[in-house]
A and B are shown apart, each in its own frame.
Chain A
């Protein structure tokens, strides 16, 4: 019996103590008519070896293509120590630190995490994480609406240049509370949020303006101007940031005259593998003024009976287990294990290491863009400065190009045509520090072949598998 330690003698002794004839008798309060059958559609159990064989085959099946997709999930080097430490049983198999005295390891680590995130974003306080960047944005929106007690506006300005999945997730999560997300268009030339359109909303009643840095196109937004504009118009400024980019880019706490009010984003670049999209973690930091609007777990430093320093869950009166229907959010947990990895990851890299990673990503993407732009019909769509992603125009349908590249085991980027038809045949590419010169050359040569094939056969390109 996998994972069940009971011997037949144990079972009989335990049943005798209980005074039950057999195990089935322990279910006598369940109405017999409700009892289910054999679960026939579930296969029989397998040994670890057999499951291992199955999973190895499936993992191999997906190959390991050369990946130039970013679009919210980035392939960074993760130091070997990160997951060896994070998967220690004491981190991996503990739970939320309800018993503080028996959880000082997790609690101190989370306090260190909060300290690192406030340092990186230059904000006053951080929680201990949310599910992912997109749900963190939804929570930031809810925070902004709650914090706006004066006008009680339920409208939020959200740029179209923000990750499409983030916009969808925010909509799914906040719409039942009557919150409206108003889309701000971007400037077709620069790729930045369109300041002329923004000006049309001046003086209107919104709870917040969302400011991505960089935006989904990799383009840097004029964050100082946007932040000041939000504050002038009595809105909160919500920053959505990439934590690796923050190592080199101006931190949200210093945007404009007063800094952003809330900063959120995807923590994946800090030590989480791509792994099909999760688990990652969302981070959320804010000004001191908004701390009681924050959702999620928060750790505080305090003293024990002897005056010794210790760490504990604090501000719990915001949370669902105390406030029930009036809680700041329904969230119970955080993404603890991912945060454990992130804290170790940041400790190993330090500020300088993160800066090197950021700069290497920027340099590699610049190189990739330069090399690919030498091909006929390929070139950058936007003029604005970018961090480590860029939108390229292609001389053929993006879907066809990406399909052909994939057949050559190159994932050539994210197809923008469904979310941004106005951009035509456009692809969002990214080369992190993991993509070397040879990788970039592979992409170039494969794309060249795809384009040449297309020029030679002007009919609809067929995937060559």
Chain B
């Protein structure tokens, strides 16, 4: 739980000369679920893109498994971290083919799937519960099923670190919980997860640590219970938080 997987030190990031995220330092430990929360436009997605290596940092350094993020070749990086952005396209292909694309970084020059690649594809479909959908066309799936199919692709990529940008957006509440428990399940199978969530009660219920962002800066990064107790979250979002005791922990909800 304490080995540093990804280390950000004094990172500034953004598009063009203007930094959206500035002076950001955070260590992501192996085996945790870390959730980024913050008001709209505070730089959560920018930060996630920077962690994924899609956006070069304006300054500062990112160390992935002890090596600078920029020193990774594209395929080596894709074997270490996977990134699921928001709003995926819906090409006219079958679920199984989509999931198998997760093996792309492992394929040789001939792009030929080995038995290991097939096995990993199969496992990824099994763990995410999309096996019954394997021959369905992506365009025929509901939003929740499609999201699970994309998650399966990322799982097939078989990386220690998963970066998920708002994985529950556009899903109904039932599918949101289904997806989050899937994330929890992947985590218990050894994956480190960094995700952006909008729903504070989900963030509190499903994370080991929460990083609270405000205007491109890290306000604090704490466990859900201590973050809630500190009242910082309530202040940043301008809401009132409520804590409900249940067996084995707490549930949280927020009102204006």
A and B: interacting chains: no
Give chain A's interface residues, CB within 8 Å of chain B.
Answer: none
Give chain B's interface residues, CB within 8 Å of chain A.
Answer: none
